[in-house]
Amino acid sequence: MIVAREEHGTRRSAVPATRRSEGLLERVRRRAVTAAGLVLLGSVWVAATVIGTGSAAAGTASDVPPSPSPGCAAGAAPSSGSTTLLLSVAGRDRLVIVHLPAGYAGHPTPLVLNLHGSQSTAAAQEAFSGMDATADADGFIVAFPQGDIPSGGGFEWNVPGQPLFGGASVPAGAPDDVSFLQDVVSVLGADYCVDRHRVYATGFSGGARMASQLGCDASSVFAAVAPVSGLRLPTPCPSPRPVPVLSFHGTADPVDPYQGNGQEYWTYSVPTAAKRWAVHDRCSSKAGVSRPDRGVTVTTYRSCADGATVELVTIVGEGHEWPGGPHLARPITRLLGPQSNAVDADTVMWSFFVAHPLP
């Protein structure tokens, strides 16, 4: 339970002392950011009419009224931009970077939690995904929580029942991150004006596995999830609600291989994960397949219960990256695999989220 909050101003002035030497994705962040800002990959392909809008739910999403959080009654609207919070949760200080969109005016506003990968940080994920720009353009709050298990210069998430990156066991006394991330939503809903019908989760790699877990364990809080390079169906998956799922994955991913057969937490393929979610959501057993652009395949399971949709965007030849994210230096792509400019994950993801509020 959260017992205290402390605001520490902007992200740059509030880097916590617990951040140790830079992890891999922190080095990616530093190499990807120039004095002029993020260097993006040329033009990226976006086709929200083809992918990301879901199925029948898209026609009824606007009929779901906002559900104002307690923060909506506060009146004053904080300034836009990024702020770092330290939350005291179960005796631990936990870091969350919160980005309010340009023009935020205190009206019920959607919220997206964006979770960093293993051995990374909240700050690295903010830059690596480039989602602040999409939040500003489309008017949603994006929050970047940070894991608490030190690993490789960054942190990892406590994904229930799963080992850490490299096979190590979760240390005794590690926090319950499913509970923590729900607490983050509650705290932000108290401090800001959040639309509780439109709270979503995404994440990269280990953060994608954590987002998958939230779809199973916290479906009353998160309306839809969109894992990037890390889709799983946790077992068991107790969610009583069919959860809309959108996933992105490259076929040349050397960290979480597209065909599975990876680390202990990565045994089955990504298409199998999508199919398992389709079974869980009681979708049609036959998937629709489209190829909206060269090297991009979209596998969609429709006719799911309660208007849910399960979509997998496969990007041929892409490695372990955030599609449409910052340009990465060659030494990084030698480790993570090649980049592709075929898909803008942030824009496509947001279209999917808009189509799938909580019913």
Class of domain 2-11+37-161+175-355: alpha beta
Type and span of the H or E element at 338:
none
Give the integer Cα–Cα distance in Å for 224 and 356. Answer: 7
Whether the full predicted model's pTM is greater than 0.85, yes or no, is yes
Taking residue 58's Cβ as centre, other Cβ atoms within 10 Å add up to 18
Pairing of strands 224-228, 245-250: parallel
Closest alpha carbon to 196 in 104, 136, 108: 108
Ordered per-residue pLDDT tens for the chain, 359 residues: 333 444 333 332 333 323 322 343 433 333 333 222 222 223 333 444 356 655 544 446 878 999 999 999 987 667 889 999 999 887 889 999 999 999 898 899 999 999 999 999 999 999 999 999 999 999 999 999 999 999 999 999 999 999 999 999 999 999 999 999 999 999 999 999 999 999 999 999 999 999 999 999 999 999 999 999 999 999 999 999 999 999 999 999 999 999 999 999 999 999 999 999 999 999 999 999 999 999 999 999 999 999 999 999 999 999 999 999 988 899 999 999 999 989 999 999 999 999 999 98
Contact 141, 135 (CB under 8 A): yes
